[in-house]
A and B are shown apart, each in its own frame.
Chain A
Amino acid sequence: MRETAEDPADGAQGSGEATVSVTRPGSAGSRGPKGTFSPAVRMRLRRDPAGGGGAVAGSGFPGAAGPSAHPATPNAAAAPADPAIRLATAIRIVLLGVTAIIQPGLGLAPLLRHHPAYQPPVVADLAYGVLAGVTALCALWVLRRKPIPAAVAAGGAFVVLLASSAATAALPPDSFFREPHWSFGLVGWHLLVLLADRPPALLTALAAHTAASVTQFLLGGTPTRTELGDAAIVLFGVTVFQLAIAGLIRLLDRRAGEAAAAAAERERLATRAALAAQAGRDLRTGFAEQLGATLPLLAGLADGTVDPRTPDARARCALAAAQLRRLFAENDDVPDPLVHEVTACLDVAERRGVAVTLAVSGDVVEVPAEARRELTGTVLTALAAARTRARVSVLRTPELVRVAVVADGRAEPERQSRMEAQWRPE
């Protein structure tokens, strides 16, 4: 991109000429602020395929456990790796399986054996069918590792409680909490599957279920002490077991939520660390670029490999001084940074005894720092080579910013040399 030197060898002009094109449309956009953030983008691209498969699971159940565990970003892609989250998802499938096995395994046999005794049998059949249907419905979401929608959970719980009451009402006499009462223990499992994501609703539904059964039991006639005792044992056994499961789910969900939050935090920290590292690298390269020849020159002067008595060393010093001066000017807060920085470049040449004139035309155009550096870089190079006089011109139009330097050369004083650099805004 540098110096398309167009040296008129015809010699008719007695002048040399070089053009530096900084024509880089949108250089501000593509290499400026975005460049700083590119690591994050790269990182995301790299991680997405890895976590993509599990992302569905990650966004499901742990999300229901608490708002903090709702990372909607690809950051959550790292979450399924955590065993707690996988376990929380798996336990729902296990619950569904348990329900699906218990219903035919423990419920079907008593239903068939006591079938004629139900009052009427068709109600018991219907209740059995409805419960099986609810299990199948839940499978639609659970097997896909998605949370059951609130409407389905509420409706399902209501239907399940209704079926339970109906089945209990259709029981033959004196069979509460005994073998023909297959629905009592089973319904709790359905409620667990339906309401696993909503602990308060689950507890309420379980309580309602138990209360309804007990009420129906008490209304069915005055039970004997033996009957009461048997009922209490069944009630206790079933309810405590199901409550324990509910507690276990709650515990797992909380762990999963914490794990998801921790994973998101880890990801966030990793991103920040990567960004900070990139910013640090940018800063260092930036400084190295801006300091240009200064550091090697200082090193050379220090260890004696550069002799300050030679014109070459002095020219290098002049250039380095001008670069430093420009670097300082870059951080000044002025309304017209480009001209300010060009003036800084002039300053050093003037101190060297070069008569420099500056001509500026056009209104202030906002030029990004990087483009300014390219433009002033040309001025620096040209002025460093100037011997006695130079003219720097800055032309600014909304379509074009052009900096040109006409100077007499060190090597051939009679030849005017010309360098220019231009930058086009978007």
Chain B
Amino acid sequence: MATRVTAVVVDDHPAVRAGVAYWLAAGDPPIDVVAEGEDVKAAWLGAGATADVVIFDLHLGGPAPAFGDLRRLAEAGRRVVVYSMRSDDDVALQCLELGALCYLTKAEGAGHLVEATRAAAQDRPYTPPSLAGALAGDRSETRPALSAREAEVLVEWFQSESKEFVAHRLGISASTVNSHLERIRVKYARIGREAPTKAALVARAIQDGLIGVDDL
């Protein structure tokens, strides 16, 4: 890759910001944290305004999730990885609906954060196990129709946390597991409100040959 991926970390805990910056810098290839701040201004001003990915704590100092800030970032076409301490299915689904490319809980480790950030920089979705659980348990009326295999992949991925495991259990390859997960996210990107990030995600999936233009 020609240029290194850049990220801005928005979190109200300095320790978390430092930790995230360290994890990202330790990735291979490393991801540069160009700005950080305790509120969303960091993502709009200075170096943060042009960072590839916004790593965004949904609970900035208050009990209410900062859905408004997330919506404004997504509408501006910013690629957001929501990094939350809460593992609430509804909140996770709402973040996807608003245009977040990933929803990660803080219980999930460095590996997921680095992968999610890297995927987001390329307009690709990343679905960590907890998010897969939320999608598998989604019984809302607007949820997209998933195939039986896609539903299986979600459940297995949620409960085993290892793509090799999922692949082994379902008798498919690990890359097929990934494309199932991505296809599910494309389905989700095409429901609900429109956002530039969701459009970019779908466009990327077509580019990757994951779905055809005819599927739209």
Residues of A within 8 A of B (CB): 8, 12-13, 15, 17, 357, 359-363, 391, 393, 395-398, 402, 404, 406, 416, 418, 420
Which B residues are in CB contact (< 8 Å) with A420? 159
- Judge whether A359 and B107 touch: CB under 8 Å: yes
- Judge whether A395 and B133 touch: CB under 8 Å: yes
Once A13-B165, A17-B169, A402-B155 are accepted as A-B contacts, the answer to whether A361 and B89 lie under 8 Å apart by CB is: yes
Interface residues of B, CB < 8 Å — how many? 21
A124 to chain B, nearest CB (A): 91
- Judge whether A406 and B162 touch: CB under 8 Å: yes
Q: Which 8 interchain pairs have the tightest Cβ spacing? A: A361-B133, A362-B137, A404-B159, A361-B137, A393-B159, A357-B107, A13-B164, A359-B130
- Judge whether B162 and A416 touch: CB under 8 Å: yes
- Judge whether A363 and B137 touch: CB under 8 Å: yes
Q: Other CB < 8 Å A-B pairs besides A360-B87, A416-B162, 8 of them?
A: A15-B164, A15-B165, A17-B169, A359-B129, A361-B134, A363-B139, A395-B137, A406-B160
Main secondary structure of the interface of B (DSSP, over half): helix
A4 to B123, CA, bound (A): 41
A4 to chain B, nearest CB (A): 12
A395 to B133, CA, bound (A): 7
Once A395-B155, A420-B159 are accepted as A-B contacts, the answer to whether A360 and B133 lie under 8 Å apart by CB is: yes
A406 to B164, CA, bound (A): 13
A8 to B107, CA, bound (A): 28
- Judge whether A359 and B165 touch: CB under 8 Å: no
- Judge whether B129 and A397 touch: CB under 8 Å: no
Which positions 111-139 of chain B face chain A at CB distance < 8 Å?
A: 129-130, 133-134, 136-137, 139
Which A residues are in CB contact (< 8 Å) with B159? 393, 395, 402, 404, 406, 420
A398 to B105, CA, bound (A): 24
Once A17-B169, A420-B159 are accepted as A-B contacts, the answer to whether A362 and B87 lie under 8 Å apart by CB is: no
Which B residues are in CB contact (< 8 Å) with A406? 159-162, 165
Which A residues are in CB contact (< 8 Å) with B130? 359, 361
Residues of B within 8 A of A (CB): 87, 89, 105, 107, 129-130, 133-134, 136-137, 139, 155, 158-162, 164-165, 168-169
A246 to B185, CA, bound (A): 92
Which A residues are in CB contact (< 8 Å) with B129? 359, 393
Which B residues are in CB contact (< 8 Å) with A404? 159-160
A397 to B135, CA, bound (A): 11
A303 to B144, CA, bound (A): 62
A143 to B62, CA, bound (A): 89
Once A359-B129, A406-B162, A420-B159 are accepted as A-B contacts, the answer to whether A8 and B136 lie under 8 Å apart by CB is: no
A320 to chain B, nearest CB (A): 27
- Judge whether B89 and A362 touch: CB under 8 Å: yes
Which A residues are in CB contact (< 8 Å) with B162? 13, 15, 406, 416
Which A residues are in CB contact (< 8 Å) with B139? 362-363, 397-398
Which B residues are in CB contact (< 8 Å) with A393? 129, 133, 158-159, 161
A420 to B133, CA, bound (A): 15
A397 to B158, CA, bound (A): 13
- Judge whether B155 and A391 touch: CB under 8 Å: no
Q: Who on chain A is nearest to B108 by CB?
A: A357
A361 to B87, CA, bound (A): 9
Which A residues are in CB contact (< 8 Å) with B168? 8, 12-13, 15, 17
A393 to B158, CA, bound (A): 7
A393 to B128, CA, bound (A): 13
